[in-house]
A = this chain, B = another copy of it.
Amino acid sequence: MPIESLVADLKPTTLREDIATLLTEAILTGKLKPGDRLNESALARQWQVSRAPIREALQQLEERGLVVNRPRRGMFVVSLDEEEVQKINSLRLVLEAEALRLCRARATPQILRRLQQLADRMERASGSPAVEATQLDLEFHRTIWAGSGNEYLERTLAGLTAPLFAYALLTKPKAEKMRMILDSHRPLVDYVAGKLKRSADDVIFDHIRLRWSEPDRFASRRLGGE
């Protein structure tokens, strides 16, 4: 008997998880847009299951910040305002920098190659629809998060940025801006490769600023006067 089937049985799959995955996909590929209402019965019919696993999956996504629950009114795909984007990004800055440092310290040739490969694909994807660019972008960052070797950091960043990527799908940058955004991943590769003298803080700040205009740069340190 192949080992895989035994290993697979160690983590039995449940409908709840499958549906949580499907819903996450749908949100991160723009099939469900911020503000959309998520009707439990409709989703249950759509996937031929009862409402229980749908509800549970939705609540899982709620906890991850992808949907918001208005009690007795329903679940809605999370919709961020400018202030929320700013707050998430200012926190993301700190975490991404940490992930970058850890990833550089632990970088293997495999990881580096993967990052380079994704950066290459992004370069060729400048003209593609926002969905594909966002997918590549997400995949790139996930690679760094995973490369940090700290699953808690990985999970935290995934949860924190998920609504950002959903939000990003709504914006349609001009081709030129899109190219700049995608190109701005190169310095991250270089940093991980050890080719940059700049600090991780600097590198990630430039990257995020380019994408999301102006988060307060290290607001905490500056205001605090350290």
* A residues apposed to B, CB below 8 Å: 11-14, 16, 52, 55-56, 59-60, 63-64, 71-72, 87-88, 90-91, 94-95, 98, 101-102, 104-106, 150-153, 156, 160, 199-200, 219-221, 223-224, 226
Number of copies: 2
> A91's contact among B11, B14, B150, B221, by CB below 8 Å, is which?
B150
Question: Looking across the interface, which residue of chain B has its beta carbon closest to that of A226?
Answer: B199
Report the minimal beta-carbon distance from A152 to chain B, rounded to whole angstroms: 5
B residues near A219, Cβ cutoff 8 Å:
102, 105
B residues near A98, Cβ cutoff 8 Å:
91, 94, 220
Report the minimal beta-carbon distance from A9 to chain B, rounded to whole angstroms: 10
Contact of A160 with B150 at beta-carbon distance under 8 Å, contacts A52-B52, A56-B59, A59-B59 already known: no
Report the minimal beta-carbon distance from A173 to chain B, rounded to whole angstroms: 24
Q: Are the CB atoms of B152 and A11 closer together than 8 Å? A: no
